[in-house]
Amino acid sequence: MPKLSGRIVVASHNAGKVREIGELLAPFGVEAVSAASLNLPEPEETETTFVGNAELKARAAAKASGLPALADDSGLEVFALDRAPGVYSARWAGPDRNFKTAMARVWRELEETGASDLSARFVCALSLAQPDGAIESFEGEARGHIVWPARGDKGFGYDPIFVPDGHVRTFGEMSGDQKLPLTHRARAFEKLVASLR
């Protein structure tokens, strides 16, 4: 597996994810280029696991761009909801990506189950694909619990209802500098970097 260098396509059209991955790559002198900026199509996520979807997206972007591609598939797993929304986290937000609706659904379903266990985790699979088809994948997690009502207007996705273990503020209340080291994405990235050493 080659070292991180040059340009890497971040195989995502989610501006929040592209920003976070770009910040993780920056110390290595790597230029992160979003799939959206290259007008690459978004492949349909047909796999049933985070790794499966990340690999599908990374391979498609590497093939289409001729550059190494880093794809992320991530989501929120709420243990009392049998790990839902899981790989369907983005789909719970609907075609217009309305995460207020998705967060409300998480809370509504928790209330319907009568669950007292509000524990949850964010999961991230990162896949680094080369144009020749070689691929490696790494998973990371951030454990915490769900709160309601949602708090904070920073971050993206389900951040305003997730408090990471050992903290009192939601990801949505933290600045990017405070949040990023605690994330599932940073933990998956640490494994990727370790594999390159």
d(CA 121, CA 139): 13
Q: Where are the domains of the chain?
A: 7-196
Which residue among the candidates 73, 82, 96, 132 is catalytic per the annotation?
Answer: 73
pLDDT tens across the length of the chain (197 residues): 445 668 999 998 888 888 888 888 888 888 899 999 999 988 988 999 999 999 999 999 999 999 999 999 999 999 999 999 999 999 999 989 899 999 999 999 999 999 999 999 999 999 999 999 999 999 999 999 999 999 999 989 999 999 999 999 999 999 989 999 999 999 999 999 888 76
d(CA 71, CA 60): 10
d(CA 186, CA 161): 19
What pLDDT score does 1 carry? 41
What is the model's pTM? 0.88
What pLDDT score does 2 carry? 46
Architecture of domain 7-196: Alpha-Beta Complex (3.90)
Q: CB–CB of 24/189 below 8 Å?
A: yes
Instruction: Examine the residue annotation and report whether 159 is marked as an active-site residue of this protein.
Output: no
